[in-house]
Amino acid sequence: MRTFAQAEARRQAAERQLAGWGRRSCRAGLAGESMAAGADQLLQAFAKPHPRAYAVAMPTTPRPTRVTVREVAERAGVHAGTVSRALNPSRRHLLSGETVERVERAAQELGYRANRLASGLRSARSFSVGVLIPDLTNPFFPPMVRGIEDRLLARGYTALLANTESELERERRSVAALAARQVDGFIFAPSPPAGALVRELIADGTPLVLVNRRVDAVAAFAVTPDDRRGAALAVAHLVARGHRRIAHLGGPQALSPALDRREGLLAALAASDIALDPRLEAFAESFTEGAGVAPTHALLAAVSGSPGDRFTAVVAANDLLAVDCIDTLRGAGLECPRDVSVVGFNDMPFAERIRPPLTTVRNSPYEIGRQAAGLLLEQIEEPGASPRTVVLSPLLVERGSTADVPRSDRR
Amino acid sequence: MTPPTVTRAVVTVRDVAERAGVHPGTVSRVLNPEKRHLISDATAARVERVAEELGYQANSIARGLRTRRSYTIGVVIPDLTNPIFPPIVRGIEDRLHPLGYTALLTNTDSEPAREVRGIQALTARQVDGFIVTTTEASLDVVADMVRDGVPVVTVNRSLSGVSGFAVAPDDRRGAVAAVEHLLGSGHRAIAHVGGPRALAPGQERYRGYQDALREAGVRVPRALVRFAEAFTGGAGVAPTRALLASGKPFSAVVAGNDLLALDCIDTLRAAGLECPRDVSVVGFNDMPFADRFTPPLTTVHFSPYDIGREAAQLLMAQIEGDGAAPRTLVLPTRLVVRGSTAKPRGARRRS
């Protein structure tokens, strides 16, 4: 008997070959003669029992049914998950009567037969996954993508990326474009209004992992850094260096990382018996370069009338905002770290090379990407696992943008 | 159980393409007498046989209709962690988005296997065209696409030997400006840590370096010209070590791009040579934060955002079928002088 690993390796090789030829043509039996012959062989190699079933020893290798849920879905113009539900008596009530009827008609026309054995199989994988990124120019995301790709590639999957600018319309369009290309699942850092889209994907049974951002009230697979703890590390570092007048340059509060970082900051300040002076808090409208200028001006203006109230340190919600903050302070005659210490968040690439080298909370985006890809592969290859969130621990990286509180400000 | 049969009222170019195992663009070309010569005879014969079998009839009205598009284009990037690429992507998307197109990206990490695979993954998923940053591995794949009539634009790196659509910065003149700046500061022993010569930017920047030195009548020992194996971070270490090991003195380095320049500065520092005090270094690209580095990087600037926009424009022209001949758009570069270049030590002492 072949081992499962051998079967898996052969199947993956077959998949790759089919992908190279344009797998849809081969699967639909439309390929040219020579290809059809090759594809037939490949489809035999392709026949794959359920991993667990295989472990119990199967006398013969079952061939997958030729008509798949996906084909029925295409014909009926619905998502594959809808087909599964329409044909599942216990879940049919979730759909409109008209949809159920359309799916049943398509299934009948195509001669689709729900197969007890096959229903346990993930049919017709494309070995590609969709990755939706809110802002590719944010240096946090490229290493995350690399982490995703490294993990996927090891298992024979390709990542197709889409940049959404955190705009719901782009998110919807990208999901549609990727779904039309039959990706096996999604890794998604959703915008705040994308909650409904996330719920739709989950309801459809689409393998999905949320990264970096939570969607409230949704049980989803997710990988996030422990941002509360990260902010607490930043505060503890500053307090240890004598700072008590600590300002907060927050991120857009609609985004869960910005919220979590703020909560962590407030909790850590409270733990050190420091109440955040409301004048020492300002928020950026986005996490992008340039967005930190206005809130830094606001912080400076808020205490300009009372020099005794000025701040000696700033916790910024990400590195790009920290860099803006340092520039804006310099423009106002305040040098970092001599006059004001600044802590960033993320440890973006090149953070160690800028002047001053940035003290920052390291959220390893590469590791977030790797973990997310792992959770997605698990869902694709072994459906039915319960959603869970992986929370990664941050690390404070101390560099040149923080120093002891200036002597004149010690109290 | 029988396989499902796909029945459509009209047989389309795409149906023929699927059956023949080629891109729809190839089918159009084969069936277009003016362009048939672009396709190999074997491919043309296969397409013609399939078209006949399926009963395909070219319909000149239908051909002009904007039908059967996926409104998706594939963007192939060699290294997303090189900060030059995200702004290119943004430029592409800003141009495509208002037209209803979505860009799907694949990042190849300059690995040949990933690159070919990424292109295949997208081809199999029927994108309307490609914007590709070619590396050594994909030169052939891209050349095939161009030959097959797949709408494709290469960015940042023009293709040698294939007449395709391309957008690139003026690499040669950028390098000339870098060398002239160093010559003007009094440097003569100007070394080169170049990018891979198999890639157009590596080749073109090296050519600019040579041209400017020749123009000034300055001869540089061969040992002071070294090439990195890639344009990625880390690849500049080995060639810089080779420069140091050559024993030939040099007071300045023109690097193939900013990442190589950063490697060069680090490697020199590890050998006890400070930039710019001991050695001046010029990069290429003006990547984000280049102005904030220690020392702030003197580099050749161009707009990656504009490159992305222009590439999208050229691609749309092909997809819309404006019939224009393949062309390369060369965008201007300019030298940005910052803190990584200074007069050579000897000159400073004399002055």
Mutation site, B53, B107, B144, interface A, largest A CB count within 10 A: B107
Which chain A residues are within 8 Å of B1, Cβ to Cβ?
A: 65-67, 111, 113
CA B284 to chain A, closest CA, distance in angstroms equals 17
Is the same domain home to B91 and B23?
A: no
Domain boundary among B44, B64, B84: B64
Averaged pLDDT, A236-263: 96
**Owning domain of residue A114:** 4-120
Which chain A residues are within 8 Å of B103, Cβ to Cβ?
A: 162-163
Is the same domain home to B264 and B221?
A: yes
**Closest-CA residue of chain B to A22:** B124
Peptide bond connecting B295 to the previous residue in cis, omega within 30 degrees of 0:
yes
**Does any domain span residue B4?**
no
Averaged pLDDT, B56-80: 63
Contact assignment for A66 to B118 by CB distance below 8 Å = no
Write down the residue that tokens 């590439």 correspond to: B311
Q: Per the structure, how many domains does chain A have?
A: 3
Whole-number Å distance between alpha carbons of A289 and A99: 47
pTM for this prediction: 0.73
**Does any domain span residue B103?**
yes
Is the same domain home to B91 and B39?
A: no
Which pair of structure tokens corresponds to residue A404? Answer: 């002891």
Report yes or no: B280 and B268 within 8 Å, Cβ to Cβ. Answer: no
Contacts of B100 (CB under 8 A, 6+ apart): B71
Is the same domain home to B155 and B199?
A: no
Which chain B residues are within 8 Å of A369, Cβ to Cβ?
A: none
What proportion of chain A, given as a percentage, has pLDDT over 90?
A: 51
**Does any domain span residue B3?**
no
Is the same domain home to A263 and A401?
A: yes
Contacts of B317 (CB under 8 A, 6+ apart): B324
Model pLDDT, residue B236: 98
Is the same domain home to A264 and A382?
A: no
Averaged pLDDT, B308-333: 89
Contact assignment for B124 to A66 by CB distance below 8 Å = no
Contact assignment for B72 to A181 by CB distance below 8 Å = yes
Which chain B residues are within 8 Å of A357, Cβ to Cβ?
A: 294
**Owning domain of residue B251:** 171-301+335-350
CA A71 to chain B, closest CA, distance in angstroms equals 9
Model pLDDT, residue B256: 97
Is the same domain home to A390 and A402?
A: no
Model pLDDT, residue B156: 66
Residue B173: closest CA among B141, B207, B221 = B207
Query: Each residue of B189-214: pLDDT tens digit?
Result: 999 999 998 888 999 999 999 999 99
Is the same domain home to A37 and A72?
A: yes
- Residue B20: give its domain's CATH number: 1.10.260.40
Is the same domain home to A400 and A252?
A: yes
Is the same domain home to A251 and A356?
A: yes
Is the same domain home to A221 and A231?
A: no
Which pair of structure tokens corresponds to residue A279? Answer: 């004048």
Is the same domain home to B52 and B184?
A: no
Dihedral sign from CA coordinates of A30, A36, A40, A41: negative
- Report the first-to-last Cα separation within chain A, whole angstroms: 77
Query: In angstroms, what CA-CA distances link A394 with A227, A238, A277, A401?
Result: 7, 16, 26, 18
Dihedral sign from CA coordinates of B232, B87, A163, B23: negative
Contacts of B79 (CB under 8 A, 6+ apart): B85, B107, B108, B109, B110, B231, B232
Model pLDDT, residue A94: 73
Model ipTM? 0.74
Confidence of residue A248 (pLDDT cuts 50, 70, 90): very high
Report yes or no: A186 and A207 within 8 Å, Cβ to Cβ. Answer: yes
**Does any domain span residue B231?**
yes
Model pLDDT, residue B290: 95
Which stretches of B118-255 are assigned E, i.e. beta strand? 130-132, 152-155, 165-169, 190-194, 225-227, 252-255
Write down the residue that tokens 């095939």 correspond to: B144
Contact assignment for A181 to B104 by CB distance below 8 Å = yes
- Candidates B114, B120, B293; nearest CB to A353: B293
Alpha helix ranges (H) inside B156-236: 171-184, 200-216
Whole-number Å distance between alpha carbons of A358 and A353: 8
Is the same domain home to B94 and B108?
A: yes
Query: Each residue of B126-155: pLDDT tens digit?
Result: 788 999 887 766 677 777 777 777 899 998
Is the same domain home to B311 and B213?
A: no
- As a dihedral over the C-alpha atoms of residue B262, residue B263, residue B269, residue B272, rounded to 10 degrees, the angle is -140
Which chain A residues are within 8 Å of B20, Cβ to Cβ?
A: 32
- Residue A134: give its domain's CATH number: 3.40.50.2300
Contact assignment for A174 to B102 by CB distance below 8 Å = yes
**Does any domain span residue B118?**
yes
Report yes or no: B132 and B119 within 8 Å, Cβ to Cβ. Answer: yes
Is the same domain home to A84 and A202?
A: no
